[in-house]
Amino acid sequence: MHKLEITFKIIDVETSELLTIKTYSAKSESTKLKDNGDPLPIDSESLFSESLQKITKKFIKHISPHKAKLSLVFEVEMEMSEIYNAIECLRKGNTQNAISILQTTLEKPNMDTITQAKIIYNIGIAEVMNGIYEIAMSKFERAIKLNPENGLYPKAVKLVAKEIQAAQKLAEQNVHTE
């Protein structure tokens, strides 16, 4: 088990006044078993990294006044296991690997436009998960051009447009407070 505890002090840089002190902690565990002999060594660096990620998420959640929560549905294609693999990567948070799988799949020859639209839409979802809304928006708009009959794609555009507006408002607020 690895326990990490970090204390943050928020200080007003103009007045040097201490605004708040907050301590965050996280625990990460790993067990490795072996049938015979000594157990396998535990990777303490990965446990430290995992704990640090947990604390970072807690800290960002605490100080960030804006949290994007979008509900988007993945598009699947029964004959393409690559899409399922990419979706599994997305569910595990490995967005770069998912995008790579989807882009490689998109390069297959003789693919119909509906399947292309599904893949591009899923790339858009991955970009939303990365917080890169402008690229996600362009992917969703491209999916609409390829398959205008699919009702998911315009909904995704509307949701992402709202997130872009919220992010812009937040940026404006931060500019005004600096």
Report the percentage of the chain scoring pLDDT > 70: 82
Model confidence at 160: pLDDT above 60: yes
Q: What's the average model confidence in pLDDT over 139-164?
A: 93
Model confidence at 29: pLDDT above 50: yes
Domain ranges of the chain: 2-63, 81-168
DSSP-assigned states of every residue in 1-32: -EEEEEEEEEE-TTT--EEEEEEEEEEE----
Q: Which CATH architecture is the domain 81-168 placed in?
A: Alpha Horseshoe (1.25)
**Gap between the Cα atoms of 123 and 128, Å rounded:** 9
Model confidence at 53: pLDDT above 90: no
Q: Is 0.85 topped by the overall pTM?
A: no
Q: Are 29 and 2 in contact (CB under 8 A)?
A: yes
**Gap between the Cα atoms of 161 and 141, Å rounded:** 11
| pLDDT digits 0-9 by tens, 104-134 | 999 999 999 999 999 999 999 999 888 888 9
CA atoms within 13 Å, Cβ hemisphere of 121: 27
> Within 10 A of 31 (CB to CB), how many other CB atoms are there?
8
Ranges 41-55, 88-102, 159-173: which has the least confidence = 41-55
- Work out the pLDDT band at 66, boundaries 50, 70, 90: very low
Listed in sequence order, the residues at least 6 apart from 24 whose beta carbon sits closer than 8 Å to its beta carbon are 5, 6, 7, 8, 55, 58, 59
Q: What's the pLDDT at 173?
A: 65
Q: What's the pLDDT at 72?
A: 75
Q: What's the pLDDT at 157?
A: 94
| pLDDT digits 0-9 by tens, 10-26 | 777 788 887 777 787 88
